[in-house]
Amino acid sequence: MTKPVEDGYPGDDLSGFRRSLGEFATGVTVITTCVDGTCYGMTSNSFASVSLDPPLVLWSVKYESQSFPAFRDCTHFTVNVLADDQMDLSQNFARSGPDKFDGLEIREGAGKAPVLAGVAASFECSLAETHTGGDHLILIGQVERFARYDRQPLLFSKGRYAVAADHPATRVTTDAPPTAPDGAGAPPLAQLLARAYGAVAHRLEQSRKTAGLGLTLMQARLLKTVQTYPDSTLHDLLPEIFLDFNASQNILESLEALGLLSIDGAGRVRLTEAGEDRINAVVEHTRANEQDLFRGVPREDLAAMQRVLERVVGNRG
C-alpha cells in the first residue's frame, strides 16, 4: 500500500479531514425554500437519496448558516441538481447575503419553494423529519414531484468542479458522425472549451508533479489569483476561482500551511516571498509546456484563439 498524502485524526487536523472528505465526488445542488413570502437558497453537496417507497431524500444544513432558521422552519424545500454549465449558480448561492434570486428564471414549486431553470433535475419536497447531526441539522424530505432533463450534471471532487466522463474501461468507441457543412453537427463551442480545458489542465497538473512543483491545479490557480489581486479577501477572490467558499477555504489553508501565502486579521490574502517564487515557477513551467502542447498549430490560429478567449473573458461580466 502506498503512503498516504496525509493522515491523522479529525480532532487534530480538521483541514486534512475536510480535504479527505473531498475525495468523495458528489453532485452539486442548490436547495431552495420559501418562508413567510421570502425565498432562500444555498449550495449543498450533502444531498442523498434515502428511500424509493416512500420517496425520501435528505440533505444537511450547518447550524451557523445564515439560512439555517429558514430551513429549520420551512414546510417544503426544492433540491435543484445543477447542470454542468451552472457553476455561476453554485457560486451565487454559496455566498452569504440577500438578492440571490435577482435576475434568475424560476418557477414556484411545492410549498412555493423555487425551482431553478436549466437544472439537470429537481425534487420538490415536503419536510418529513429533522435530525441532529453534530454541527448540522439533517433534513429528510418526501418528494412530491420530480423532473429530469437531458442535461449533464455538475460534479464536485477534490475541492473543484468537475464534469462526468465515461471511464476508459467502459467507453464504447464509435466512428464520429460526419459534421454538416454549416457546422450544425459540431458540438457547442462551450462544450469544446470545457473539454479542451480539462485536457490541458490534466496534462499540466501531471507535468507539475513530474517537475516537483508540488501544487495541485486549484492550489496553483488560487496562488495566481492572489498574485493578480493582492490584499483581497477570499470572498472577493471567489469569482476568479470557480469554487465555493468552503472548498476555497480548504485550499487557502493548505497554501498557508505551506508558507506560500499569509492572511492578516482582516482576512486579506497576500503571497509570501516563497509564494511569489513558486507561482512564478509554475507560470514559466506552464509557458514551456504550452509550446510543446500547441506545437504544429499555426501561429495565426493561436493568435486568433488568444483574441477570442480574451474577448470571452472580457465579456464575462
Cell numbers for 238, please give them: 471567489
Q: What does pLDDT average to over the chain? A: 86
Backbone angles phi, psi at 231, to 5 degrees: 65, 25
| 3-class state of residue 133 by DSSP | strand
Q: What is the mean pLDDT of residues 148-156?
A: 92
CA distance linking residue 216 with residue 276, whole number of Å:
16
Do residues 114 and 108 make contact, with C-beta atoms less than 8 angstroms apart?
yes
Cβ within 8 Å of residue 315, ≥6 positions away:
none
Give the model's pLDDT for residue 103. 92
Which stretch of 43-57, 121-135, 160-174 has the lowest confidence by average pLDDT? 160-174
CA distance linking residue 176 with residue 181, whole number of Å:
15
189-314 in CATH: which number? 1.10.10.10
Residue 176 has pLDDT above 80, yes or no: no
* Domain range annotation of the chain: 24-157, 189-314
CA 232 to centroid of chain Cα atoms: 21
Specify the length of the chain in residues. Answer: 317
- Picking from 126, 141, 124, 110, the residue whose alpha carbon sits closest to that of residue 81 is 124
pTM for this entry = 0.61
pLDDT in tens, 279-304: 999 888 888 888 888 888 898 998 99
CA distance linking residue 240 with residue 226, whole number of Å:
10
CA distance linking residue 152 with residue 159, whole number of Å:
19
Of 3.40.50.970, 2.60.40.1080, 3.40.710.10, 2.30.110.10, the CATH number of 24-157 is: 2.30.110.10
Instruction: Pick the more confident residue, 146 or 219.
Output: 146
Do residues 93 and 30 make contact, with C-beta atoms less than 8 angstroms apart?
yes
Which stretch of 69-78, 97-106, 141-150, 161-170 has the lowest confidence by average pLDDT? 161-170
- Picking from 172, 163, 116, 143, the residue whose alpha carbon sits closest to that of residue 56 is 143
